[in-house]
Chains A and B, each alone.
Chain A
Amino acid sequence: MLRTENGFLRRLFLSLLRMPLLLACVGLLCLPVSSPGQLEEAKKQPPPEFSSGYTPPLPSTPLPRAELFAYLDALILLSALSLAAYIVLTKRSRSALRVLTLFSLLYFGFYRQGCVCAVGAIQNVSLALFQNDYALPFVVGVFFLLPLVFALFFGRVFCSSVCPLGTIQEMVLLRPKRVPLPLDHALSLLPYLYLGAGVLFAATGTAFIICQYDPFIVFYRLGGNPGVVAFGAALLLLGTFVGRPYCRYLCPYGVLLRWMAPFARWKVKITPAECIQCHLCADSCPYGAIKLPTPPEQTEDRLTGRRRLANLLLLLPILVFGMAWAGYLSSPALSRMNRTIVLAERVWKEERGLVTGNTEASQAFYHRGGSPESLYREASRIRRRFDTGAALFGGWCGLVIGMKLIFLSLRRTQRDYEADPASCLSCARCYSSCPVEQERLGKFNHSGIRIELEPRQR
């Protein structure tokens, strides 16, 4: 009896011992089912079996504009550039150029809504150069290179009547006023700085600031950021009496064209014969691009000039390295334009309890199960890029200012009124103001007045 009891107790004891094991096994079996994901999945409705055999349709996927049209755009750009070069350099006709300007405004501006344009393509090129995961689309490459190649042969014909940003300003110019020369020189530094900033932010994958603050695209799209709309409206208003303020004092692509245009094979030549020094062309140019003849007598002795140049050449490296250092110091501030950096800083603070609550971005980050460590790694990679980039950007700013000072101090000699190929926008206004050109066209013959066009006393 005792034995049996003993046996029973032993069995009971053993089974009690096994109990936790059994429970653990059951628990293990249940575990996947009770994990949060599975619980939620259980809430979902499985798609039903329809008794009528109905199969749900696929959602529609309307396709983007066919690739073919992008190539067509490139072709239209090529023909517009060729036509502009022909009109400016061979036909020398402002009215024909006006028609082309209107066409470009309507096609590249209002129809294509200003995208993609050569100006913005700078950023695609620098993104493709510095980030491996972005491949430059062929058509964007064409839009970037074609105007530059044309500038190498025909000067800035792209600006004259093809660029969607230029044409809209060309249309609003009513009463051009001359910008005071010192102000003009100071403001003409801005495009270089804008180019540097645009490349910096694109190359670090932060933003396309040239597109973001494109002041005229909002008119082509009939809407956009209110701040940019106000900026664009102000520029257009200013553009009624200052010729093309964006092109001259902001456009980053203009910098590249400026480098190409002096090498042009065929340039804008104001007078078809001898210049009679009448100054009318310089008055007609709304962009201050016509260089005046230099006075024959020297205003200062050679030694002063040389000493100044030597000083400026010494100043150049100081400026470059000083600005590069300043750029390097401003790298943390500049890098906060990047969303990954901002998110990483926020997550870092949240992890350490320095701030309470989540931002929308950090909430989204946790929601998608991102790991803070890999985020920090990515952020420090971007920060390193910014350190180099900001130093280079600073050095670039110093170089630009130094070179501007050097070029201002250099003496040049010039006999006649000539269009400066770097800043001439090929608008063809000077042709019709030149009396020699008018005579060539035979415009003076109808009036019955005989005019002797003799060179004025120099």
Chain B
Amino acid sequence: MPQEEKKSRRDFLAEGVRTGSLILASGVLGALAIRAESGTMVWQIDPDRCISCGRCATECVLTPSAVKCVHAYALCGYCKLCFGLLRDKRTGNTTAAENNRCPTDAIRRTFIEDPYYEMYIDETLCIGCAKCVKGCNAFGNGSMYLQIRHDRCVNCNQCAIANACPSEAISRVPASRPYRMKKTIHR
């Protein structure tokens, strides 16, 4: 009999632990559900902090990277010579490989009206190396900048690029506002 009594006491204790933990867990989940900002978080680059170091192309768990160049057309100066497209040390104003800033030839253009062409990024080719971003920031309006594209990003719990980013430009943002678009001309 003493054996059985001991067992029932242990069962009683276990029952108490279970009930207590269940109440605690449901309380925590309830509190989480009520909080407004407890939605999914996604990663994004702050273009004002980005120094176009090129790690976005190499550190992402995806190959090619989920980071792509975005062209904010409204900020673009529609320069006669696009320095996002062409290198500053070049042999001529053509898009020959040695003159092209983009290593994958992902920057294309469409004719709008004389003398303006609109540059756009072919995201299937872009690797997020930020070479064009550097050029556009140095000589142009900075209308080309990097953003994490959420149709590609797998939303790791800890972004591998954020780990390697020297300027701490990558942070979590709410999934309801997943981009950090430039509003004005910077730098």
Residues of chain A having any CB pair with chain B under 8 Å? 40-41, 43-48, 50-52, 54, 56-59, 61-65, 67, 70, 113, 115-116, 120-121, 123-124, 134-139, 141-142, 145, 148-149, 152-153, 207-208, 211-212, 218, 221, 223-225, 260, 262-265, 339, 359-361, 363-365, 367-368
Contacts and interface: CB of A to CB of B under 8 A. Distances in A.
B103 interface: no
Contact of A57 (B18, B29, B62, B73): B73
Contact of A137 (B41, B74, B160): B41
B150 A50 contact: no
B18 to A, nearest CB: 5
Interface in B4-29: 14-15, 17-18, 21-22, 25, 28-29
Contact of B61 (A48, A145, A221): A221
Nearest to B70: A59
A187 to B, nearest CB: 26
B124 interface: no
B153 interface: yes
B113 A54 contact: yes
B182 to A, nearest CB: 10
A138 B77 contact: no
B155 A65 contact: yes
Interface string B20-60: 01100100110011010111111000001101010000000
A152 B156 contact: no
B48 A368 contact: yes
Contact of B153 (A52, A64, A224): A64
Nearest to B158: A208
Contacts of A123: 157-158
Contacts of A120: 157-158
B166 A360 contact: yes
Contacts of A59: 70-73, 181
7 contacts: A47-B76, A52-B113, A116-B157, A221-B62, A265-B18, A360-B166, A368-B48
Contact of B75 (A47, A145, A207): A47
Contact of B155 (A64, A124, A207, A263): A64
B18 A153 contact: yes
Contact of A70 (B17, B18, B40, B167): B40
Given A208-B158, A364-B167, A368-B48, A48 B116 contact: yes
Contacts of B125: none
Given A50-B112, A50-B113, A359-B166, A212 B73 contact: no
Contacts of A134: 172
B118 interface: yes
Contact of A135 (B17, B35, B158, B175): B35
Nearest to B154: A113
A56 B35 CA distance: 39
A221 B141 contact: no
Contacts of A265: 14-15, 18
Given A47-B76, A137-B41, 6 more contacts: A47-B75, A52-B112, A59-B70, A64-B155, A265-B15, A339-B168
Given A47-B78, A137-B39, A152 B178 contact: no
B61 A54 contact: no
Contact of B25 (A113, A124, A145): A145
Contacts of A211: 156-158
A223 B172 contact: no
Interface string B131-158: 0000000011100000001110111111
Contacts of B116: 48, 50
Nearest to B149: A62
A365 B113 CA distance: 41
B167 to A, nearest CB: 3
